[in-house]
Amino acid sequence: MSMDIRTIAEEFGTPLYLYDFDFIVERYTSLKEAFAGQKSLINYAVKANSNLSVIAHLARMGAGADCVSIGEVRRALDAGVEKYKIIFSGVGKRDDEIIEALENDILLINLESEAEMKRVEKIAKELAKEARISIRVNPNIDPQTHPYISTGLHENKFGVDIDMAKWMYVYAKKSEFLNPVGIHFHIGSQLTKLEPIAEACGIVADLTRSLRAIGIEIKFFDVGGGLGVVYDDEATISTQEYAEVIIKATKGLDVTFVCEPGRYMVANAGFFITKVLYEKKSGNKRFVIVDGAMNDLIRPSLYGAYHKIETVEKEGEESLADVVGPVCESGDFLGKNVMLPPLEHNDLLIVHSVGAYGFSMASNYNTRSKPAEVAIEKEKVRLIRKRESYEDQVRLEKVCMEWSDES
């Protein structure tokens, strides 16, 4: 990707999210081709980056959507994702969300508990509809990743164990209003080792075989997402190796493979552009204060996540600095102990690998407006989300300010 960061920053302002749409095409193509010769569905995990233009870009390539709220289901439909490629997941679904999902006739609803299954059954009965379902199985495999993004252990809130899953599938098979068509697992995010994936696949494939033996026809084998990406110097898994272990574990099963990549698809496609306001020294400590903050990009504060930070067209003798924002919190930083040259007002910094869980986790803390989002595709730059204004922030509050005082 060739781009003039300074020109883009001058046109759209800072702080700013910038996405390389050509890179997203490469990622989707790599994963789809890894399953060549197999039935497969690549369902983009909308939570990673829910911008409508990002979802639409993937939909045009044939991607489906993995959604964890009815809002994400609506986004997927609005962006042009085919309804039969949408999965609705998540541990807590309200009745109105279940109703809307069933009425939209999406591919399936992914269940995470016995209580949820019976709730879906009751609602489907009231609507006189059959609910296509899958069940999220917890294989109790250590994904060897950050504990906050581990999801496949008994101590995590997600899914059900093998014995409960078997019971739920038998129950669903007997139900007039449930149709168990899929099986699902997801052991965690930012996976950089094949062994946990292979082990989990083997456990869930064996369960699928036992279900097939009693007449429960599982059609969709959903391996979740979680493929790791490079933030610093991580050794990652190739899509070919990833597909091979899944295909090997499921040998003999005639299923459609479903993958739910989010971070893998968009993380390294994203850049956060922020402007230097001042430099500050406190004793021997150097701070570079920028106009971007933890409300714009919370991963460093929330997870202690590392993002490469570099200057734009600025050189000089480098020294350690903390890159911090204007938010009134000690935890407001984008990077610590970053080697940077001397910086002046209006110099630009670029923060790398922020396409996933960057803007989607942004907030209005400190009444700060969310940044603009911009896409670059085939060397053309276009705005895909306007910068939020103060009026955008308070609109829903202002309509509630007027009332008649009858006391």
Average pLDDT of span 63-88: 98
Are the CB atoms for 15 and 275 separated by under 8 Å?
Answer: yes
Interval 98-153: pLDDT, tens:
999 999 999 999 999 999 999 999 999 999 999 999 999 998 786 554 444 344 34
Q: Among 138, 140, 133, 139, which Cα is nearest to 116's? A: 133
pLDDT of 350 strictly over 90? yes
- Comparison of pLDDT for 162 and 189, the residue scoring more: 162
* DSSP-assigned beta bridge partners for residue 182: 134, 220
Same fold, 5-14+268-390 and 35-261: no
pLDDT at 189: 83
pLDDT at 305: 94
Backbone angles phi, psi at 131, to 5 degrees: -95, 115
pLDDT at 108: 97
pLDDT of 292 strictly over 50? yes
Rounded CA gap, 306 and 348, in Å? 19
Query: Spelled out in words, what is the top-level CATH class assigned to the domain 35-261?
Result: alpha beta
pLDDT at 78: 98
Q: Classify 372 as helix, strand or coil.
A: strand
Rounded CA gap, 310 and 5, in Å? 12
Residue 227 CB burial class (10 angstroms; 0-12, 13-18, ≥19): buried
Query: Percent of the chain having pLDDT more than 90?
Result: 87
What topology is assigned to 5-14+268-390 in CATH?
Lyase, Ornithine Decarboxylase; Chain A, domain 1 (2.40.37)
Rounded CA gap, 90 and 136, in Å? 10
201 is catalytic: no
**pTM for the predicted model, two decimal places:** 0.93
pLDDT at 327: 97
Segment among 73-87, 122-136, 149-163 with least mean pLDDT? 149-163
* DSSP-assigned beta bridge partners for residue 321: 338
pLDDT of 366 strictly over 80? yes
pLDDT at 147: 45
Q: Residue 309 is inside which H or E element, if any?
A: strand 309-311
* Average pLDDT of the residues of the chain: 93
Where residue 158 falls among pLDDT bands split at 50, 70, 90? confident
Pick the catalytic residue from 67, 259, 328, 400: 328
Average pLDDT of span 163-188: 96
pLDDT at 217: 94
pLDDT of 260 strictly over 50? yes
- DSSP labels for 55-94? HHHHHHTT-EEEESSHHHHHHHHHTT--GGGEEE--S---
pLDDT at 405: 52
pLDDT of 363 strictly over 70? yes
Are the CB atoms for 212 and 248 separated by under 8 Å?
Answer: no
Where residue 155 falls among pLDDT bands split at 50, 70, 90? low
Where residue 403 falls among pLDDT bands split at 50, 70, 90? low
pLDDT at 156: 56
Are the CB atoms for 42 and 27 separated by under 8 Å?
Answer: no
pLDDT at 226: 87
pLDDT at 142: 67
Interval 298-324: pLDDT, tens:
999 998 999 999 999 999 999 999 999
Domain coordinates of the chain in residue numbers? 5-14+268-390, 35-261
Interval 1-22: pLDDT, tens:
456 999 999 999 999 999 999 9
The answer for residues whose C-beta is within 8 angstroms of residue 359's C-beta and 6 or more apart is 17, 49, 51, 296, 370, 371, 373, 385
